[in-house]
Amino acid sequence: MQDVTTLSFMSLAARYGGPDVFWTEYFRVHGASRPEKWILDSIRLNPTPIPVVAQVIGNDIPALVRTVRELQRHPVAAIDLNLGCPAPVVYRKCAGGGLLRQPERVDAILGALRDAVQIPFTVKTRLGFEDVGEFDRLLEVFARHPIDLLTIHARTVLQMYRPGVRYDFIKRAVQCLKCPVLANGNIFSPAQARQVLMQTESRGLMIGRGIIRNPWLFDQIRASQAGKPGPTPSGRDVLAYIRALWEAEITPGIRESAQVQRMKKFINFIGEGVGGAFLHEIRRTDTEAGFWSICKEWLDHDRFMPLEPISTGLPGVVSPPA
């Protein structure tokens, strides 16, 4: 996740169990690019035993080949090509999800990178740019190349993160591709993770935004798969997590309002699991004192918090818990 899966966030996530594998932020690749130092730091300075996959994004084949050869000099578990980023600033440059409009170009990029990558080579995609009807053509392209893993976010690029995740298309990929497939898109609870795995028959799950909201989620899913009870965080546990996030993400010398704004990037996800007016209040403060006052008002309790998305439109869910 861009501007999220930094070295500091990866280190913090590992304290709560963490994933089996981390993906870096994406390296932006173009004719004059060099691998960004701060992303390299998340590989070179990784203090955890969790392997790290280096993710690249771009459409310039010589530059991509040059970059992946350089990245392989670092301790990376694999090289991943991003074909799924739905940000307009990316897809308008025909990178990320924008490349899905040009299957022939994707075909050429995959061939060149497969030749250049001597370690596992993985790809992340969406179902198409505009319509899921594009997916069959993309599957034909993926099937032509010996990639080692395909992650599928089961939405189109233009769909962004709106409702309507099509897990049935992931199952179609599982059935017709030789490589393992990971399911991605709106994984937010152990029960829902189990359902997605059963429905898609995929080899595993990639989880992004859900882990910002609930850092216990990986361990909860592992426990669920093993038939054991998982972590059950309370409001105070969530409050402690937010404090740890604040410490991990603080920038020395940054002004107070900027630090609060930085935290809102994470709170926008966490707040989906708190509900009520929590997010409404947080979004309207720009002081540290105000930020913590709101967090304590809503989270300073010992009741279990599932941290699953809550519709703020539910009647009656308007006040902090008593």
Catalytic machinery residues: 85
The values of phi and psi at residue 206, to 5°, are -105, 130
**Distance from C-alpha of 31 to C-alpha of 297, rounded to nearest angstrom:** 50
Q: Are 263 and 251 in contact (CB under 8 A)?
A: no
DSSP reduced 3-state for 300: coil
| Token representation of residue 177 | 């591709």
Helices 7-15 and 235-249, interaxial angle, to 10°?
A: 150
**Alpha helix ranges (H) inside the chain:** 7-15, 37-44, 61-71, 88-91, 103-116, 135-143, 167-176, 190-200, 209-213, 217-225, 235-249, 256-270, 278-282, 288-299
**Distance from C-alpha of 267 to C-alpha of 239, rounded to nearest angstrom:** 11
Q: What is the separation of C-alpha 282 from the centre of its chain, rounded to a whole number of angstroms?
A: 23
Amino acid identity of residue 318, one-letter, is V
**Distance from C-alpha of 9 to C-alpha of 38, rounded to nearest angstrom:** 13
